[in-house]
Amino acid sequence: MTASAATGAPSPGPLASLDGAAVLVTGGSGLIGRAAVAALVSEGARVTVFDRADAADAGLPAASITVIGGDVTDQPSVRAAVQGMDAVVHLGGYAGLGMADAVETYRVNTVGTFTVLAEAAAAGVRKIVYASSINANGYPLGSDEVLPPVFPYDEDAAPHVSDEYSLSKQAGEHAALMVAARWHASVTGLRFPLVRDITADGGRTFGAHLRAALGSDPRRQAAEGWSYLDVSDAGRSIVAALLHETPAAPGILVAAPLTYLTTPTEDALDLFAASVVRRPIAGRGVGLELRRSRELLGFEASVLLDEVAPEQLVDLASFEPSRDPSRDGSGEGSA
């Protein structure tokens, strides 16, 4: 343990560079994890992946990284893994609903996040970045189908949580606050939106995903402000977060600045969220306020569907508007 961690003195702050830095990535075998590892390796970091023993390591640059099999909820394994690290990136856990039952999802995500963040901070790790989610405010995935209180919405929009995954992400942000307060650790959360490799198969895989998602639950896509982020940009946002000092919570929204729709955003809101309070959104601007990602992280997404595969952009008018729950007073999306 370093002197600062032992005494609770202010941490030395974020890293000035990742060149030569020792970085542990939990969940490093996963979708965002592999992109984070690639981005870190290209910055010159010495990367260790910590993931479930049965996780695939395909796609990891095996020559330049170390892989440890372990569970983020297992304190001794995590304690051993964080020793000597300059930074920890915490991505390990369940990335949504339906991957495990409700208690297991909540347990792994909350206990895992607390364990990794607390052990890293107690060990004097200089910088901790953790994956939160656009779902930390509960709107998109909640069983109580509501819309955000305003568009575009930011990290301070009042949460309305009605599912275990969103609750686990909200709890993770509370854990980050506690860890930062107790150990004076430098902690940054990222609220990822829909993250995919939008370049795969020339954009067709992503386009098919968007059409299926809009077909099955257009309200959810509205609640996400029709946002997305290419996985390589997710990796770049993690690098940016490692190199900047921010409040430990709320997690910072990171997304492409434009929606995946051809429909102008104001027209899309007329269709799916007409009664929600609105500030002006120019053109196809995403329904999220991205000021903090720009000002606190200096982050701007660079891989846009407009450029990768503009033919995959979706005309929202071809999807039936869902019931806007704010119109009949059953939800929290009304003005």
Ligand X SMILES: NC(=O)c1ccc[n+]([C@@H]2O[C@H](COP(=O)([O-])OP(=O)(O)OC[C@H]3O[C@@H](n4cnc5c(N)ncnc54)[C@H](O)[C@@H]3O)[C@@H](O)[C@H]2O)c1
Q: Is residue 32 a contact residue for ligand X (CB under 6 A)?
A: yes
Tokens standing for 145?
Answer: 């189908």
- Judged by beta carbon, residue 5 or residue 167, the one nearer ligand X is 167
Query: Which range touches ligand X (CB under 6 A), out of 65-73, 236-244, 289-297, 313-321?
Result: 65-73
Which residues have C-beta within 8 Å of that of residue 236, sequence separation ≥ 6? 39, 299, 302
Instruction: Give the binding-site size for ligand X (rule: CB under 6 A).
Output: 24
Using the minimum distance from each CB to ligand X, give the nearer residue, 287 or 325.
287
Residue 70 C-beta: closest distance to ligand X, Å: 6
Cα gap 217→140, rounded to integer Å:
10
Q: Smallest gap, in angstroms, from Cβ of residue 154 to ligand X?
A: 17
Considering only 5, 25, 27, 241, the residue that binds ligand X (CB under 6 A) is 27
Residue number, 87 or 195, with CB nearest to ligand X: 195
The answer to whether 265 contacts ligand X (rule: CB under 6 A) is no
- Span interacting with ligand X, options 49-57, 139-147, 204-212, 278-286, rule CB under 6 A: 49-57
Interface residues toward ligand X, by CB under 6 A: 26-27, 29-33, 51-52, 55, 71-73, 91-93, 95, 108, 112, 131, 133, 192, 194-195
